[in-house]
Amino acid sequence: MKWYVIHTYAAHENKVKTAIEKGLAGTPMESLVGQLLVPVRTTFIIRDGKKIERERKLFTSYVLIECDMSPELRAYIQNIAGVTNFLGQRRDQKDLIPLTEEEVNRLLGITDKDRVTKTKEYLPGDMVRIISGPFTDFEGIVQKINDDSSKLVIDVTVFGRRTPVELNADQVEQIKK
Residue 112 has pLDDT above 80, yes or no: no
The predicted-structure confidence for 123-176, as pLDDT tens digits, reads as follows 888 899 999 888 889 999 999 887 655 688 999 988 888 899 988 888 888 887
pLDDT for residue 13? 95
Q: Give the mean model confidence (pLDDT) for residues 48-69.
A: 87
Q: d(Cα 143, Cα 133) in Å, to the nearest integer?
A: 19
Domain covering 118-174, topology = SH3 type barrels. (2.30.30)
CATH number for the domain formed by residue range(s) 2-111? 3.30.70.940
Q: Is residue 114 predicted with pLDDT exceeding 60? A: no
Q: Are 61 and 13 in contact (CB under 8 A)?
A: yes
- Quick one: pLDDT band at residue 111, thresholds 50, 70, 90? low
Is residue 113's pLDDT more than 60?
no
| Per-domain boundaries in the chain | 2-111, 118-174
Parallel, antiparallel or unpaired: strands 151-158 and 161-168 = antiparallel
* pLDDT of 90 higher than 80: no
Element spanning 55, H or E: strand 50-57
Q: Can you give the pLDDT at residue 158?
A: 87
**Average pLDDT over all residues of the chain:** 85
Output the pTM of the full model: 0.61
pLDDT at 146: 78
Cα 117 from Cα 40, distance rounded (Å)? 13
